Amino acid sequence: MLSLQWPLMLLALPLPFLVYRFAPAFKTEQSQVFAPSLMMLADQKEQQTSNPHISVWILAILAWILLVIAAARPTFVGEPQAITSSDRNMMLAVDLSGSMKEEDMSFQGRLVNRLQTVKAVLTDFIKKREGDRLGLILFGTKAYVQTPLTFDLHTLQILLDEATFGLAGRKTAIGDAIGLSVKRLLDLPESNRVLIILTDGQNTAGEIEPLQAAKLAQQAGVKIYTIGIGADELVVQGFFGPKRINPSRDLDEVTLTTIAQDTGGQYYRARNLEELEQIYTELDSLEAIEMEEQSIRPEKSLFHFPLGLALLLALFVYLLQLPTINKWLESITGTIKGKAHV
């Protein structure tokens, strides 16, 4: 249905009539020179200008009515639409350190680096969090808030896709990422506060130790799920032929496990893409979304339609006052009358 946001603006509709009716007329001094021929011409011109064509008045009145309607802000209000909200606050902390370049994760039959794998799996996970507030923290040598807690999952996905190596430094500041996440989660009313950390190493930078940050998270009611990324075994070509190495030898699983247990979360090990996908599937079941039904009525502003039409009418009224336009219209009118007389 249609509604007006500022209906009191309609009280301005009779304003031009009131001004015309009660405002004092503009007076000019009369010339003291007596010239009958000039006075006749002046009277004739005054009569022509004081009695404009009726169509001009109609257009001017229509333009004023449309202008007042535009000022009243007409709005189209749609049917009520149901929406769901879970009031869940979840931060995603993604490691961008140099070791995330390691290409030890298989994806579609080829080896890709760890960050590519994380992005691929997080894409599906983010799509399933409709109704949650998600935030994104990127950490390396420093921890940065890339996206604050928001319902705008599309923008969060774009910023995740744009994350690249070296953006936060080459080292790993797990403690700073936890501390920054806890600070962001505390800005909102208390509900289900969840932090998911994805890393492939151990804490090598930052101003706060991971276990100390975990204690702060526990006090704030933040549940932390930690995910260790990286294969256990990788075959590389050495000087004496192929050899097997452990690309995840620097992964501090003990600390990550302690962080998760102290905050009521859980530690997961993702050695390949399939395991990482399984972890997020399990997280969906552990952190199920409790939907709260609400309804909204979408609104669409329509003021620009009457405003644009009023400006066009005002421009047309102005053009009608120009002598060349008047002569052109008179010639057309005369031609039409002549043909009708014949």
Give the CATH number, domain containing residue 186: 3.40.50.410
d(CA 44, CA 80): 63
What is the model's pLDDT at position 45?
A: 47
What is the model's pLDDT at position 158?
A: 93
Share of the chain above pLDDT 70, in %: 72
Number of compact structural domains in the chain: 2
* pTM of the predicted protein model: 0.59
CA angle 19, 22, 27 (to 5 degrees): 90
Q: Are 229 and 307 in the same domain? A: no
**Is there a domain that residue 32 lies in?**
no
Is the pLDDT assigned to residue 276 strictly greater than 70? yes
Q: Are 308 and 252 in the same domain? A: no
Residue predicted with more confidence, 44 or 21: 21
Q: Are 328 and 308 in the same domain? A: yes
| Residue 337 DSSP class | H
**Among candidates 84, 173, 87, 185, which has minimal Cα distance to 135?**
185
**Is there a domain that residue 202 lies in?**
yes
Q: Are 324 and 206 in the same domain? A: no
What is the model's pLDDT at position 189?
A: 66
pLDDT per residue as tens digits for the range 217-262 = 999 989 999 998 887 765 555 555 555 555 677 788 899 999 999 9
Average pLDDT estimate for 59-77: 87
Q: Are 250 and 277 in the same domain? A: yes
Q: Are 72 and 218 in the same domain? A: no
What is the model's pLDDT at position 178?
A: 94
Q: Which domain holds residue 312?
A: 2-21+37-78+300-341
What is the model's pLDDT at position 173?
A: 92
What is the model's pLDDT at position 89?
A: 78
Rg (CA), the chain: 37
Reported as a pLDDT band with limits 50, 70 and 90, residue 135 is very high
**Is there a domain that residue 146 lies in?**
yes
What is the model's pLDDT at position 306?
A: 87
Q: Are 109 and 224 in the same domain? A: yes
